[in-house]
Amino acid sequence: KIRKKRFLQMLAAPVRYKDQANQGSTVRGAFSKKLLKWRLIGEGYSSQLSIDEQRYVFKTAFRMWSEVMPLDFEEDLTSPMSLIDVKLGFGRGRHLGCTRSFDGSGQEFAHAWFLGDIHFDDDEHFTAPSSDSGISLLKVAVHEIGHVLGLSHIYQTGSIMQPNYIPQEAGFELDWTDRKAIQMLYGTCEGSFDAVFDWIWKERNQYGELVLRYNTYFFRNAWYWLYENRKNRTRYGDPVTVSLGWHGIPAEGIDAFVHVWTWTEDATYFFKGTQYWRYDSENDQAYIKDAQGNQYPRLISEGFPKIPSPINTAFFDRRDQFIYFFKDAHVYAFDVKRNMVANHYPKRIIDVFPAVVRNNHPFGNIDAAYYAYTHNSIFLFKGKEYWKVVSDKDRQQNPKLPRNGLFLKKNISEQWTDICNVHSSMLKM
Amino acid sequence: EKLFHSRDHSDLQPSPQHQAELVTDLQSAQQFLSKYGWTEPVKWEGTSSKNAAELPRYGDADLMQEGASISRYGQEFPLEPTQAPAFVEALRKFQTLNGLPATGKLDDSTIAAMNKPRCGVPDNQIGKESAIVKSNSNNVTEKASGKSLNTTTNQNPENGTSTS
């Protein structure tokens, strides 16, 4: 078993990175697999918490790392032990065949090995996250998992990898330092999206004035993230399953989201396949019927005549009040006032959204089209990259730019950071 | 059982027999510094039988350096000058990274820092970079005032900048 484990560890590809302080490079090992299996071993249960509590805490701890790095973790209760990547257990003094004894209550509370196992000193008073006293098992577990993944101690205020235990504050989360440290080893999260949009909502402020607010959402497969633009990260605890947050629309594989917003109309639509749904934000669910009594979902061909389906994506342009539907290499402009496709459409995407730099263009099969209020710009997403559309403001600064031109492509992960998958088993905690 | 009186066990008392030994003197401090890789990096392998073994043992005389002193019960005791530069250097490093004055003297605050609950993984291991964060920084500045070694720039977007 030891030989096998060492062999698997040898497969972990070392990652070279620039040591920015010294301009040298350091080889550091990391797991090369994308999915790691973990288990709380039967002979290593704590005497202080229920087994379910222990497993829940560890599941949460692994998930917290998974939310910021391109690695998934899965609790595996059935595979042979030799296939388990990380085994966790509690012990006192001499424990679990470990060469390092624990020292009793106080001082050391846990230890872990790079690419290996984690042991917790059961002489410590570990408590669940809901408790105000004792040592937070969650915080310790997150720290030790950091070692397993390849992190050393970090002497930085706020870092989970500080060597000393600091009592848990309310809402403990991974620090920005920790994110970057683990991403130095494993890279950042990347991937395509099905739909990206800003969801507008209204509320009254303290003066009774109606104010408009928005939240940014990224959809992929059966889950979604809320992106906190001011903090350059996703909401803690995301992704969430689509079905949990959005009721009455398909649970996965959304093609497009459109917010038609004019002086006379304010409607949000989800599209998938040949159908579409209108969403009722007040009741937080899809409408059952439209104003004419037609049941949702409706066929795209009925609600938007001459628009093909399925579509790749779409967005509503408030400047000309057209919905731009993208399919393959073409774009259809749909005039919502006249309820018909605009004259001279469909057109090639490259003609409506020309490349600013020659050949730097998605050409077709756009994944998502997104108007961002944060940036006052339209973005086209394809794969891991995006193109920003030339805005009116851009053209004021540089009149030579083509109208609706596409700037050079960039990585989505550079602009919207840390939008990371988690294992499907973690979508329901 | 571990003694408790509250319904939710929040006042759980550890058994006296299972209390960890604290750092109290030069020798235990030396062991602490060796154990966690401050004297020299530690080879940290779970399968190694040598790892937990013997730490280099110094006599008290070896640990003393001219000008060094130990603190017992709040007093400092000047020592006879002999050599243990490795120990003093390790102590200074530890003090610096823990936000203590880097005096090389084993005072009460240093002992208290050593006795804080901590992770069992050594701070400095063979083959691993030191425990100083160097990300997003061109320099790692050691501040003479004894403040913690930190990155000199903070690009944490959570600290203040907001978009319109």
**DSSP conformation class of A287:** -
pLDDT attached to residue B13: 64
pLDDT attached to residue A35: 94
Cis upstream peptide for B157 (omega within 30°):
no
B64 has a pLDDT exceeding 50: no
- Answer for the pair A92, A121: CB distance below 8 angstroms, yes or no: yes
Contact criterion met (CB < 8 Å) for A163 and B131 = yes
Mark which residues 45-84 of B lie under 8 Å from A by CB. Answer: 45-49, 51-52
Distance from CA of B59 to the nearest CA of A (A): 24
Mark which residues 25-44 of B lie under 8 Å from A by CB. Answer: 36, 44
Mark which residues 224-263 of A lie under 8 Å from B by CB. Answer: 229-233
DSSP secondary structure of chain B: -----STT-TT----GGGBPPPP-SHHHHHHHHHHTTSSS-B---TT-SSTTSPPPP--HHHH--TT-EEEETTEEEE------HHHHHHHHHHHHHTTS---S-B-HHHHHHHTS-EESS-SSBTTS--S---TT-S-EEPPTT-PPPEES----TTSS----
Q: Which residue has the higher pLDDT, B146 or A210?
A: A210
Strand locations in A365-424 (E):
368-372, 377-382, 385-388, 410-411
Pick A163's closest partner by Cβ from B8, B45, B119.
Answer: B119
State the average pLDDT for chain B.
Answer: 65
> Which chain B residues contact residue A173 at CB under 8 A?
none
pLDDT attached to residue A262: 93
- Do β-strands B150-151 and A330-335 pair in parallel, antiparallel, or remain unpaired? unpaired
* B18-50 per-position pLDDT tens digit: 688 899 999 999 999 999 999 989 888 754 333
Q: What is the mean pLDDT of residues B67-77?
A: 42
Contact criterion met (CB < 8 Å) for A99 and B48 = yes
Q: Which of A74, A124, A144, A385 does the annotation list as catalytic? A: A144
pLDDT attached to residue B1: 65
Q: Which residue has the higher pLDDT, B132 or A371?
A: A371
pLDDT < 70 positions in chain A:
1-29, 168-170
CA A241-A243-A248 angle, to 5 degrees, is 160
When scoring B119, B136, B141 by the number of chain A Cβ atoms within 10 A, the one with the most, hence best to mutate, is B119
Alpha carbon A257 to its chain centroid, in Å, reads 18
Contact criterion met (CB < 8 Å) for B21 and A184 = no
Q: Which residues contact A402 (CB under 8 A, 6 or more apart)?
A: A354, A356, A390
pLDDT attached to residue A398: 96
State both tokens at A403: 């109208």
pLDDT attached to residue B160: 36
Query: Alpha-carbon distance A383 to A405, whole Å?
Result: 19
Angle between helices A137-149 and A51-66 (to 10 degrees): 50
- A108 close contact with B: CB closer than 8 A: yes
Phi, psi angle pair for B136, to nearest 5°: 55, 35
Q: Using CA coordinates, name the residue in chain B closest to A116.
A: B46
- A18 close contact with B: CB closer than 8 A: no
Contact criterion met (CB < 8 Å) for A159 and B133 = yes
> Which chain A residues contact residue B10 at CB under 8 A?
127, 131-134
- Look up A144 and say whether it is catalytic: yes
Q: Using CA coordinates, name the residue in chain B closest to A140.
A: B119
